[in-house]
Amino acid sequence: MRHQKLFTPGPTEVREEILQAMATPQLHHRSKEFSKLYEEITTKLQKVLYTEKPVIIFPSSSTGAMEASVVNGVMKKCLNLVNGAFSKRWHKITEMNGVPCDALSIEWDKAIKPEMVEEKLETGEYDAVTLVFNETSTGLMNPLKEIAEVVKKYDDVLFFVDAVSAMGGVKIEVDELGIDMCLAGVQKCFALPSGITVASVSERLLERANKVPPRSYYFNLPLIYKYHQKNQTRVTPPISQMFALNVQLDYILNEEGLENRFARHEKMAKIVQDWARKYFDIYPERGYESKTLTCIKNTRGISVKELNEELAKHYVRISNGYGELKEKTFRIAHMGDTQIQDIKGLLALIEDILGL
Ligand SMILES: *Cc1c(COP(=O)(O)O)cnc(C)c1O
């Protein structure tokens, strides 16, 4: 069966070379060869994240790493910044783990502004903040740099960033920004099959995690870190995915180059967003449009479901709006290894189908 090319914000289209890498025969995860693979991957990831901090590999989807941050890194109280479905999920995760927390919730089409964060942190109630950098549910990119500047002023406040749909597509300088945990599942901008989440972990977070009463066995950071120092994983890792990740990191760093990759994402975003403003409108407030996906306001009242059915006949797929935004919006991902000509082809096809 011919597969549908994915223009969805996760999973994204995976190149043939990567699928082939997945078919590499298994290594034993306690072998020297495995440790070598692990070390190669984590060293390359430090380049992608602009960090000297250890980058840990979680054998889980992104949600697991989101959980790891709050169960290990909060002593007093966590501030969850909420302006979309995934940031709302992080608040829920914090609550359900019995970790003290408050949500700062605003309208989903608005960005979190640094002043809002400052006002909350000034109270001195919090020792951790969670931010979803790129809200995949709304196509909104929060002002990470400006928020990071605020959080930096508070020495005892740890900064956790979900960069799931941005890392590998947008430059994120983890050390410069002072991020204590920056996490991303690899099925989005890394353009890999799902199953792994990568996350940078600061010394401050590890120190905190050593003091916090253990709240999790599987996501226990000090224990995970013990194995990391030996280039090992504590549990049996997704080895096939790791083969793929290693090959893709070489492609990103050496074949395409990080700067070229970021520039390609910028170009694709501009093309889709100019198109969206011409024929429809864009959901998030101006100036905060995501560089990796566009959430388009369905101002023409088209049936998004039918559009996707028509697109399926041409073996491509986009995403409907998320949750309550279904049919009111639709989302086109321009992330991962999708190329400019792919995006132009998709938009031309949509114009054709809708008679624009
Ligand atoms: C996709 C996504 C997640 C959830 O990822 P899973 O890998 O399904 O757990 C979390 N946050 C953001 C911003 C996402 O885009």
pLDDT, mean of residues 149-160? 98
Structure token digits, residue 21: 């890498």
The total number of structural domains in the chain stands at 2
Q: Which amino acid is at 84?
A: G
Rounded to whole angstroms, how far apart are CA atoms 260 and 14? 19
Q: In this predicted structure, what is the pLDDT of residue 246?
A: 98
CA distances in angstroms from 9 to 27, 58, 98, 190, 322, listed in the order given: 31, 21, 30, 11, 11
Ligand 1 proximity of 67 Cβ (cutoff 6 Å): no
| Phi, psi for 168 (deg, rounded to 5) | 90, -5
**Could you tell me the CATH number of the domain that includes residue 337?**
3.90.1150.10
pLDDT, mean of residues 255-273? 98
Question: For the whole prediction, is pTM greater than 0.95?
Answer: yes
Contact (Cβ atoms closer than 8 angstroms) between residue 332 and residue 293:
yes
Do 231 and 185 share a structural domain?
yes
Q: In this predicted structure, what is the pLDDT of residue 242?
A: 98
Q: In this predicted structure, what is the pLDDT of residue 196?
A: 97
Residue nearest to atom 5 of ligand 1 (CA): 62
Contact (Cβ atoms closer than 8 angstroms) between residue 353 and residue 307:
yes
Render pLDDT for 76-117 as a digit per residue (tens, 0 to 9). 999 999 999 999 999 999 999 999 999 999 999 999 999 999
Render pLDDT for 201-210 as a digit per residue (tens, 0 to 9). 999 999 999 9
CA distances in angstroms from 342 to 65, 181, 339, 345, 347, listed in the order given: 32, 33, 5, 5, 9
Do 41 and 74 share a structural domain?
yes
Whether residue 1 is predicted with pLDDT greater than 80 in this model: the reply is: no
pLDDT interval class at 215 (50, 70, 90): confident
Q: To test ligand 1's pocket by mutation, which of 58, 66, 80, 86 has the most ligand atoms within 8 angstroms of CB?
A: 86
Q: To test ligand 1's pocket by mutation, which of 57, 61, 83, 196 has the most ligand atoms within 8 angstroms of CB?
A: 61
Rounded to whole angstroms, how far apart are CA atoms 210 and 245? 30
Render pLDDT for 190-200 as a digit per residue (tens, 0 to 9). 999 999 999 99
Do 55 and 156 share a structural domain?
yes
Do 212 and 183 share a structural domain?
yes
Domain boundary among the residues 237, 254, 271 is at 254
Could you list the residue range(s) of the whole structural domain that residue 311 is in? 5-11+258-354
Do 151 and 212 share a structural domain?
yes
**Could you tell me the CATH number of the domain that includes residue 195?**
3.40.640.10
Do 152 and 286 share a structural domain?
no
Domain boundary among the residues 254, 270, 294 is at 254
Render pLDDT for 83-92 as a digit per residue (tens, 0 to 9). 999 999 999 9
What is the per-residue DSSP string for 232-274? Answer: --SS---HHHHHHHHHHHHIIIIII-HHHHHHHHHHHHHHHHH
Q: In this predicted structure, what is the pLDDT of residue 115?
A: 98
Provide, rounded to the nearest whole percent, the portion of the chain with pLDDT above 70.
Answer: 100
Domain boundary among the residues 234, 254, 274 is at 254
Residue nearest to atom 12 of ligand 1 (CA): 164
Q: Ligand 1 centre and the CA of 62: distance in Å?
A: 5
Q: Ligand 1 centre and the CA of 199: distance in Å?
A: 13
Do 21 and 81 share a structural domain?
yes
Do 300 and 209 share a structural domain?
no
CA distances in angstroms from 91 to 32, 83, 124, 142, 224, listed in the order given: 40, 11, 19, 17, 24
pLDDT, mean of residues 223-240? 96
pLDDT interval class at 214 (50, 70, 90): confident
Do 122 and 63 share a structural domain?
yes
Q: Which amino acid is at 319?
A: S
Do 161 and 116 share a structural domain?
yes
Do 244 and 340 share a structural domain?
no
